[in-house]
Amino acid sequence: MIETSSSYRGMVVAPHGLAAQAGLRVLQDGGNAMEAMVASAAAISVVYPHMNSIGGDNFWLISKGGKVWGVESCGASGADVTIKNYSERGLQEIPARGGDAAITVAGAVAGWEAALELSHQFGGRLPLTRLLEDAIWYAKEGFPVSKNLAETISSKHSELLNIGGFEELFLINGEGPKAGSMLRLPKLASTLEFLTRAGLNDFYIGDVGSEIAKDLKRLGSPLKKEDFIEHCAKLVEPLSLTLSGGRVFNMPPPTQGLASLIILGILERLDPAMDNTPEFVHSIVEATKKAFEVRDEFITDPSYMTVSPEKYLSEAFLDEMAEGISSKSAAPWPNISDIGDTVWLGAADSDGCVVSFIQSIYWEFGSGVVLPGTGITWQNRGKSFSLDAESVNALLPRKKPFHTIQPALGFTNDGDVLSYGCMGGDGQPQTQAMLYSRIVGIGQGIQEAITAPRWLLGRTWGDTTTKLRIEGRFPEETIQRLSELGHELEVLGEFDEITGHAGAVRVKSNGLIEGGGDPRSDGLAAGF
């Protein structure tokens, strides 16, 4: 029996149990969902360091009283970062690792600060020392290495050797830690402790920011202290789309949130038989291809966009997209795939605040650069820039890169609020559509929808294939029919984390809070 976790007082879902419990403890201490999410975000930046870090970015969707706020905190490239910097050295693309990959400011901490400022408008009062308490403890005293972390270090450490600080922090005698062994991050603990005293903005304008800038320079990054001073998180208007089951929200550019909404809009028009049928899988896969064509042609830093994202959510456009999809054959894969490692988390409190949150360093361990003074692992989000000056995502100084990460949230017609999401590059929009369709479209329970067999078209986790990879729990007739439709298939194991770590929290109109974590992760839905 697959049971959804339920409570009335609060719920936190995270892909690592210690992070979920950190947020739950804040709720139990009287904090709201935004405060709980800061606690969970800080904790998971410690215990899941391959997936995210305070050296990365984050995005928030926050619902309260029928209104939805978006928090965008993604860092731009440095003022001195140009295509010329790379082309003069004969490089055709931005390196994935090292100082040349660490070219965008980390927005995560500013995102926490912006969310807390909003939280204070609704009575949030817990001190920062309390919110970062669990994260600091795990970094200082140690936490058990998860199987996921151990395997990632083992598979990636050869490409990360000799990149500033990685070996010293994550390897013991040249070998990665075993699952269940203890890992400590003392310098990161000190950094977090200092921020509780100096304030989160010190990460950008104070002593921590100065230390970060010095270390980045030593390790070959072009970022400077001035780039950090320029950064700020901001509240943004989310994109939204009305469907037959309710209204869904996602983040605007530079994220691929638009693609997620396009998929749902197309899917409603196709109206396939749901769940594990070949029609359901085929329809989402083909809608994904259409959405990604738009994504790859137009989505970039909104300051550089020439069209409004809302254009692609119009009834006429979605009708046209749906009409271009064949129910009898698979279209070719249209684009270069994107990858990414990410953590999605959700939270809800008893006062009606619901949070959908995502935090990332892009690839596993990001740039691989670990700053010696602060213990921070720096992202390689700038890798998504192109060195082709004609590209929509061409590298420019002080430009925000395209982001795969995007949290999702929805209001249902019967008064529920649904927070949901998933990690993993191209997989995120597909899994979001899958979850929403199963939960809202056919009424599956939260945990049932998350646990149900999934698929992935495109790339994630550093992979390169564009095959349609499908978990082996799908009915044989579904797999056979998809092959007949022209999908190039790779059948996975029964539960394969290549399909991502998903989660969801739902607050029902009667006050019941439901949540589900992903058995493919180390996660937990923690309620009380």
List C-alpha distances in Å: 454 to 27, 71, 293, 349, 496: 32, 29, 23, 29, 9
Angstrom distance (rounded) from CA 333 to CA 252 = 24
Q: Quick one: which H or E segment has residue 7?
A: strand 5-7
Q: Could you report how far apart the first and last alpha carbons of the chain are, in Å?
A: 21
Angstrom distance (rounded) from CA 120 to CA 5 = 29
Would you give the DSSP letter of residue 419? E
Closest C-alpha among 249, 405, 359, 346 to residue 34: 346
Report yes or no: 228 and 371 within 8 Å, Cβ to Cβ.
no
Catalytic residue among 4, 255, 342, 404: 342
Task: Output b/e per residue, 202-216; b: 16+ Cβ within 10 A.
Answer: bbbebebbebbbbbb
Angstrom distance (rounded) from CA 449 to CA 175 = 38
Q: Is the Cα torsion angle 39, 40, 41, 43 positive or negative in sign?
A: positive
Known active-site residue 342:
yes
- Edge-to-edge strand ranges of the sheet holding 513-516: 5-7, 513-516, 502-507, 417-422, 408-412, 246-250, 239-243
Residue numbers annotated as active site: 342
